[in-house]
Amino acid sequence: MRFFPFLFLVVAFIVPASAENRPNIVYILMDDLGYGDLGCFGQETLTTPHIDQLAVDGMKLTRHYSGSTVCAPSRCVLMTGKHTGHSSVRGNGLALLQDGEATLGSALKSAGYRTGAFGKWGVGSPPPRTDPNDRGFHVFYGYVNMHHAHNFYPEFLIRNGEVEKLNNVLDDKWSENPAYAMGQTREGSGVSKVKNDYAPALFTQAAIEFLDTTGDTPFFLYYAPNMPHTNNEAGRPPYNDGMEVPDHGEYADKDWPEPEKGFAQMMRLLDNYVGRIVAKVEELGQTENTLIILSSDNGPHEEGLHQVDFFDSNGEKRGHKRDLYDGGVRVPTIVKWPGKVAAGSESDVLSGFLDVFPTLADIAGFEVPEGLDGKSFAPTILGNSASQIHHDYLYWEFLEQGGKIGVTTPKWKAVQLDTLNEQKPTELYDLESDPSETTDVAKQFPEIVKKMETWIAESHTPVQLVKEGATFKKLADGFKFTEGPAASPDGKIYFNDIPNERTHVYDPTSGETAVFREPTGRANGLFFTPEGNLLACEGGNRRVTSTDPSGNITVVADQFDGKKLNSPNDIVPDAHGGFYFTDPRYGKDGGDIELDIMGVYYTDREGKVTQIAADLAKPNGIILASKGKILYVADPGAETIWAYSVKGPGKIGGKRKFAEVGSDGMTVDGAGNLYVTWTDIIAFSPKGEEILRLTPPERPANCLLYGRTLYVTARTGFYAIEMNALGAQ
């Protein structure tokens, strides 16, 4: 650690702040800003004078790490002080903060601060529009949903939970796509054809206006621009440039690719926006009483056709966004507090987002909630390094791209890949001699690897899946045997009473159940397509049908190779307009059989049926997981759940035994956990470890996790239990 000599003139101890001397706090969170993107951290092509001035006036934290390698879990770690082995959100999939979970916003609000958040929230997916306000912020303006934040010219922003229209118009490709409609996970994202209101300029102005309203009350400004992130959708044809800016400014005539001109100009705008925030604090006469922290949610991106190497955005660090090498998680961080933090200083103390909560608690004088993983770095920034409590290590787990785990100490870095599948050997790097992580030295230091693996095992705890105190509630009864729950686009739940040949629909809003269709051909498994068509496996009719929103029924599969299907049982559509289904032989005697195989099939969008598995004892439940990359098939005849890698539409391989359990129906949550019904409901982690067992009032037949409710069909009743986990549908 390097300090300038006059550092020791600052306060060498921490005194809990009283109501009279609590400082204002400004936390500036960049989006995908790389370790090498700022001039003060080594950027040689682009200039960032306003941000660099923060470093001149304050301290650079050169070993500060983000909470994760993508936005949602990283922001969760920042807000809660829990690393991703303990946090509620551990990937960009469907997951949310738990009810009542303490955040920086709620803690500082309770401590008497005026709290405002502006820009990108994105803590989990998809959070309700009121989430920032519900989590402790008096004022919010910007994007609540991380997908919405892709679009720099959206049709609306969210102000305190309400939709506020802007003067932009989405291109028809996106406005006509039901997956991007209001209320859907990707609402507001896409690319606009009419671009007038630039969202970052709007919420920056709103942040400045917030500072004008605080009066004598200490304030907490959380300013989180969606920059220099890209518009992912605009990076694809026909647009081919995701770096959305009003113009290319001083870079317009550069001999650079268009996305790189856009990136450069976005960095210029971002630097100017930070300059405006700092200038407003100065204008209010609050500079000496305001702590400013600036950081980034993860390493630099390679999206929207921007290339990390073009401006050397990761410096000497290996990797980028979605990596757990330092390029993906080591982030440029600056702390400024005149008279308290030494100007022009640096610290290489190991720290990260999990430490921000306890640090601000020390500085603002509020109590730290139980269960946090962070350690205050207030002693370091306030010049009392001898009192700093150090981390033995920092830990990350990431649930995407096959699963990744990382551990770092001041000297060593361990990385594990494919942790959700057949895990590769632990990699080990000596960061002191090899800061670019080029040479794996695991074989030379097995004792270090063993220690790192011990820390990894100790750091992970499963997310608490069931809401505390929740029990099963009976929603409807009087049936003979219920099956196949499926959620419609409007949130109603459909299920079958097989012997009575009725499909019922349950409305969660009214709590009422009604008959949707009869007879059903002894329909079993159900699933809705994104277009709102209800797919049904009609075992009695030996076919699969599709019912459109108008009630028209179409047969979409009834034969394979010119022979009648046996008894289609369960079904799941994919993202390519096709669907997978199982075809066991329930209720068929020898005279009924035309197909001598109980198989798994795929029907493409043109209606062609392909047999993709023919070696299972009795295939039953079927579900896609991991964004369509894994296909699970329940085989109760072999008391096994099989997992396949999906190589393309209707193309599977890499069959492996996932769990040894008989199973009927299955559902998945946003973290990739698989819930199966047999004698109980059993949840398995993506690695196949049992993490939950629930016993409904009667033996379950199938289940569906939709939102935070687990719906269960059983012998005579239809049940539900409230969860913390969020359904992947």
468 pLDDT band, cuts 50/70/90, is confident
Q: Cβ distance 481 to 718 under 8 Å?
A: no
Confidence at residue 594, expressed as pLDDT on a 0 to 100 scale: 86
CA distance 440 to 20: 53
Other C-beta atoms lying within 10 Å of the C-beta of residue 378? 21
Higher-confidence residue of 99 and 45: namely: 45
- Given a cut of 60, whether residue 341 has pLDDT beyond it is yes
pLDDT digits (tens, 9 = 90+) for 136-160: 999 999 999 999 999 999 999 999 9
Six-digit token string for 718:
């239809």
* Domain shared by 108 and 229, yes or no: yes
Place of tokens 């009575």: 500
Q: What is the DSSP letter of 69?
A: S
Nearest 5°: phi and psi at 356? -65, -40
* CB 414, CB 406: distance < 8 Å: yes
Contact 718, 482 (CB under 8 A): yes
Residue 380 in domain = no
* Collapsed DSSP state (helix, strand, coil) of residue 310: helix
Residue 260, φ and ψ in degrees, nearest 5: -75, -35
Indicate whether 674 belongs to any domain.
no
Please say if the pLDDT value at position 453 is more than 50.
yes
Q: Which domain holds residue 444?
A: 405-459
Are residue 245 and residue 122 in the same domain, yes or no? Answer: yes
Whether 399 is covered by a domain: the verdict is no
Distances (CA, A) of 728 to 96, 409, 687, 704: 12, 35, 17, 10
Is residue 94 predicted with pLDDT exceeding 90?
no
User: Do residues 513 and 571 share a domain?
Assistant: yes
Residue the block writes with tokens 């949130």: 491
Q: Report if residue 359 sits inside a domain.
A: no
Same domain, yes or no: 452 and 496: no
pLDDT at residue 250 in the model:
97
Domain identity same for 103 and 203 = yes
* pTM of the predicted model over 0.85: yes
531 pLDDT band (50/70/90 cuts)?
Answer: confident
- Residue 530 maps to which CATH number? 2.120.10.30
Strands 534-538, 523-528: pairing is antiparallel
> Helix, strand, coil: what percent of the chain each, to 5?
20, 30, 50
Find tokens 């200038």 and name the residue. Answer: 279
**Cα–Cα distances in Å, from 419 out to 90, 312, 313, 414, 416?**
14, 29, 28, 13, 7
Residues 448 and 493 in one domain: no
Last residue of a domain, one of 320, 345, 370: 345
d(CA 477, CA 349): 61
Query: Is residue 550 domain-shared with residue 420, that is, in the same domain?
Result: no
Indicate if 565 and 611 belong to the same structural domain.
Answer: yes
In-domain check, residue 177: no
Structural domain includes residue 71:
yes
What is the pLDDT of the chain when averaged over all its residues? 94
Is the confidence at residue 313, as pLDDT, over 90? yes
Q: Phi and psi (nearest 5°) for 518?
A: -155, 145
Q: What is the pLDDT of residue 590?
A: 57
DSSP 8-class letter at 449: H
Q: Which residues pair with 527 in a beta bridge?
A: 535
For the segment 15-40, what is each residue's pLDDT rounded down to a tens digit?
445 555 799 999 999 999 999 999 99
- Side-chain half-sphere exposure of 366, counting CA atoms within 13 A: 22
Per-residue pLDDT for 414 more than 70? yes
**Among the ranges given (8-22, 195-209, 597-611), the one the predictor scored with the smallest mean pLDDT:** 8-22
Mean pLDDT of 307-332: 98
Do 119 and 230 belong together in one domain?
A: yes
pLDDT (mean) for 315-341: 98
Other CB atoms within a 10 A radius of the CB of residue 313 amount to 29
Q: Is residue 16 part of a domain?
A: no
Smallest Cα–Cα separation from 135: which of 117, 153, 152? 117
> Above 90 in pLDDT, residue 7?
no
Whether 607 and 585 have beta carbons less than 8 Å apart is answered as no
563 closest CA partner among 539, 538, 543, 582: 543
Q: What tens digit of pLDDT does each residue of 684-727 get?
A: 998 898 999 999 999 999 999 999 999 999 989 999 999 998 88
- Among the three residues 391, 424, 459, which one is the final residue of a domain in this structure? 459
Write out the two tokens for 358.
Answer: 């306890």
Q: Do residue 515 and residue 599 come from a single domain?
A: yes
Domain stop point among 650, 669, 688 = 669
pLDDT band at 8, cuts 50/70/90?
A: very low
Q: Round to whole Å and give the CA distance between 234 and 252.
A: 19
444 and 495 both lie in a single domain: no
- The tally of domains found in the chain comes to 3
> What percent of the chain clears pLDDT 70, i.e. is strictly above it?
96
The predicted model gives 564-588 an average pLDDT of: 91
How far apart, in whole angstroms, are the C-alpha atoms of residue 512 and residue 475?
Answer: 8
Amino acid type, 700:
P
Instruction: Using the predicted structure, report yes or no on whether residue 403 has a pLDDT greater than 50.
Output: yes
Give CA–CA dist 188/169, Å, rounded. 10
Q: What is the CATH number of the domain that holds 144?
A: 3.40.720.10
Q: Is the pLDDT of residue 231 over 60?
A: yes
> And the tokens for 71?
């936005």
272: in domain:
yes
Task: Based on the fold, state whether residues 450 and 304 are members of the same structural domain.
Answer: no
